[in-house]
Amino acid sequence: MIRATAIAEWLQVSPTDILSVDAVAGGSLNHAYRVSLASKNVFIKYHPSPVEGQFETEAAGLRLLAASHTVQVPQVLAVGRHYLILDWISADRRHETEAAEMLGRQLALLHQQPVSGFGLPVGNVIGVRQAPGWETPNGLEFYRQARLLPLIQALDHQGRLDTGRRARLEQLVERLDRWIDPRRSIPSLLHGDLWAGNWLAAGPTPYLIDPAVLHGDRESEMAMTELFGGFPPAFYAGYQATWPLDADYPDRRPLYQLYHLLVHLYLLGESYGPAVDRILRRYLG
């Protein structure tokens, strides 16, 4: 349990303003707390030995999303090496269908925000740590060089790839232009880690949490929403009503899901290997 005096210092309030500190569910990697102040509740993520830049990168991503004026995110109240403090969002699923449809519409508007090119505006700390950068007009090269290949190299160094799987991954990466046409790929502002656990319904209002913001192809974002349980049908209806995906998007969906499966293979192990192999078989035979 973190000390109330530390929380007071981070928030620049008096320790007497802190009424209670309660541990809550907040993911498997960090400690999470709801802190009741005299004026409101706040949410704290804490880790005694975080990945370098972990919380600063997340805070920068939340601020970028907020600045788009399209999606709702918790307000960043304070951030430091070991902690991130946000407004507390009280989840209420009674209007989840309405909130999901609104989220789909808002996400489509987020994806329509103009960005200068494909890249990592705040860096990346999920899977392989990467510094901010990688500004390029070519979405295929960004996906190949900045997303897939660093992960494949890290997995190989970690011993998570046998010779056959590594060779087939490299073969697929080399042939990506058979399925992904960079002339059709438009850079968008993306949440970057949008699975079903990273949104909340607070009544009819949807909130996005835990971003890994990047400038990428919106198809990669939508592909991830269909992994790990997926989103309600109303979410996809709202998105399609606002900015429909191309009819041949399903042909590319597994290629974009590959990145997220490789991240999970890197972090969590071989239980994600069979899903990677199925994608390799689909495109390489």
Please give the positions annotated as active site. 193
Dihedral sign of CA atoms 81, 215, 236, 226 in order: negative
CA distance 267 to 248: 31
Beta strands, E only, the chain: 18-23, 31-37, 41-46, 76-80, 83-87, 118-120, 133-136, 187-190, 199-202, 205-208, 214-217
Contact (CB, 8 A) for 138 and 182: yes
CA angle 236, 239, 244 (to 5 degrees): 105
CA distance 55 to 146: 21
Residue 138's nearest CA partner among 176, 95, 98, 111 is 176
For the beta carbon of residue 99, count every other beta carbon within 10 angstroms: 26
CA angle 138, 139, 140 (to 5 degrees): 95
Tell me 146's DSSP state: I
Cα–Cα distances in angstroms (integers) from residue 255 to residues 53, 131, 154, 226, in the given order: 29, 24, 19, 13
Residue 38's nearest CA partner among 65, 13, 4, 63 is 13
